[in-house]
Structure 1
Amino acid sequence: MNVENHPVVSREEWLAARRQHLAHEKAFTRERDKLSAERRALPWVKIDKPYRFQGPHGELNLADLFGGRSQLIVYHFMFGPGWTEGCDGCSFLSDHIDGANQHLAHHDVAVVAVSRAPFTEFQAFKRRMGWAFDWVSSNGCDFNYDFGVSFKAEDTAGGKATYNYEKTDTTEGELPGLSVFYRNEAGDIFHTYSTYARGLDMLVGTYNYLDLTPKGRNEDEIMDWVRHHDKYDEAKPHSCCHS
């Protein structure tokens, strides 16, 4: 949209256009509600594999990540072994977690970030970003591979690697994603949902604000303007997230 040569009309004409758009917004809201209901109705997969994670007090299992709640959202944060900083896009999304967590924690939902780097390797970055949410390491177990966000070179070379439910030839060792789990009263854990790429948009409140403005997201490539929140006086980074 060209903001320099945008149509300018009377208030009456604006109201007519706005009412027409409101009808579209309401239709979209109804469709979104249907989509959310369809998502909740998806079949589940029981988790029988023992996954082990590292947290601030030692080893954890998947049940521990629930923190006494029945629902768990895992954000697959791109931070591979040997990295000194997290992905710009993952960091952008993660800037939105702590605010939501103040409410989710009181509504039977735990949110935990999981990365493949050893636990000690991302602690300095977490402190630098000022985040309080739980963030654990899956280093040494298959969790990231099983949920489609980490890739072995031999799988990519052999055409076996998949991302967002289709084959990928990505050269990235890590990509972003989100997975949801449910734990029943008997202690059984089920995988209910995973999403990747643009499916993560719904978690980025900043984008929802931008979508209301005349210039919108104002980006040539997805997140090409995004930086770590302490780097906005520096040069633009290379975007590490994918459409």
Structure 2
Amino acid sequence: MQQHQIVSRAQWIEARKVHLAHEKEFSQARERLAEERRRLPWVKVDKTYVFDGANGKVTLADLFSGRPQLVVQHVMFAADWDAACKSCSFWADGFERMVPHLAARDTTMVAVSLAPSAKLEAFKTRMGWTFDWLSSGGNDFNHDYGVTFSSEEIAKGEPKYNFGTTPFYGPELPGISVFYRDESGAAFHTYSCFARGLDMMNAAYQYLDLTPLGRHEDGLPYPMDWVRLRDQYQPEATKAACCHG
């Protein structure tokens, strides 16, 4: 950790006001970016996707639950895995309680993974999650929306992830896809983001960015090496003894 100058409260406020000006510049840039995002063209969804859920088969149209907007969190959970990706679960912990708030603004949020519905429901119970989680194992949804890749695609070595800008690092990768359904019932794909584009949706990371240590991921084998499923962290007493003993 870098050394910090120790100053008076008045000096700190002056330094903080300089940084506040930069934060305001960033907020204004973010608002312009959001407006640009809303102006992106749309693609009509012509393929019929049928998912497996806790209550049986549902279509993409059903996932909207009568609302015009749908956000899909692509959670990495392959059919032969025993648990969801720990990093995707980190994100899922964050959006678990957002679902009713989004619904109040005409937006439905669900998670979609390749694993069978029974596995998804069992893991959902383990994690204490309540959001709707659908299996796309019987359709091409994951592949069509850029988060699942065949061994042949990976063998070719041509990056297809993140709109062809990011090399593969596995057959299953994270992402978010957004859809809109108009009054006629037609559905449109309006937005997707991947890789670092997902960062802003992780509230825990945003809080860590406020702290002196930040995410303190330097020196790890990869940035999220420290992340565990929520029920796999050390008890706080043990952790404190480990860190300070």
Identity %: 54
Q: Deviations over 1:95-139 (max 9, x none)?
A: 011221121111100001000112112221111000000000001
The counterpart of 1:41, out of the listed 17, 39, 42, is 39
RMSD between superposed Cα atoms in Å = 1.4
Q: Are 2:150 and 1:152 equivalent residues in the alignment?
A: yes
Q: TM-score, normalised by structure 1?
A: 0.91
Cα distance in 1 between the residues matched to 2:165 and 2:213: 34
Could you tell me whether the CA contact under 8 Å between 1:93 and 1:204 is conserved in 2? yes
- State the secondary structure of the residue aligned to 1:165: helix
Q: What amino acid does structure 1 have at the position aligned with 2:223? A: I
Which runs of structure 1 show a deviation greater than 6 angstroms over 4 or more consecutive aligned residues? none
- Report the alpha carbon displacement of residue 198 of structure 1 after superposing the two structures with TM: 1.0
Partner of 1:237: none
The counterpart of 1:214, out of the listed 187, 212, 218, is 212
Cα distance in 1 between the residues matched to 2:156 and 2:51: 28
Cα distance in 2 between the residues matched to 1:33 and 1:68: 28
- State the secondary structure of the residue aligned to 1:6: coil
Cα distance in 2 between the residues matched to 1:198 and 1:112: 21
Cα distance in 2 between the residues matched to 1:17 and 1:161: 43
- State the secondary structure of the residue aligned to 1:193: strand
Q: What amino acid does structure 2 have at the position aligned with 1:127? A: T
Partner of 2:6: 8
Structure with the higher fraction of residues in helix conformation: 2
Listed as ranges, the gaps of 5+ residues in structure 1 are: 235-243
Partner of 2:233: 232
Partner of 1:182: 180
- Report the alpha carbon displacement of residue 157 of structure 1 after superposing the two structures with TM: 1.3
- State the secondary structure of the residue aligned to 2:15: helix
Q: What amino acid does structure 2 have at the position aligned with 1:76? A: H
Q: Deviations over 1:136-181 (max 9, x none)?
A: 0001211000111001001111245510111655351200000000
Cα distance in 2 between the residues matched to 1:161 and 1:20: 41
CA 1:40/1:140 → structure 2, altered by over 3 Å: closer, same or farther? same
Could you tell me whether the CA contact under 8 Å between 2:154 and 2:171 is conserved in 1? no
Q: What amino acid does structure 1 have at the position aligned with 2:91? A: L
Partner of 1:241: none
Could you tell me whether the CA contact under 8 Å between 2:54 and 2:121 is conserved in 1? no
Report how many aligned residue pairs link the two structures: 232
Task: Describe how 1:52-131 pairs up with structure 2 within 5 A.
Answer: 52-131=50-129
The counterpart of 1:19, out of the listed 17, 20, 23, is 17
Listed as ranges, the gaps of 5+ residues in structure 2 are: 236-245
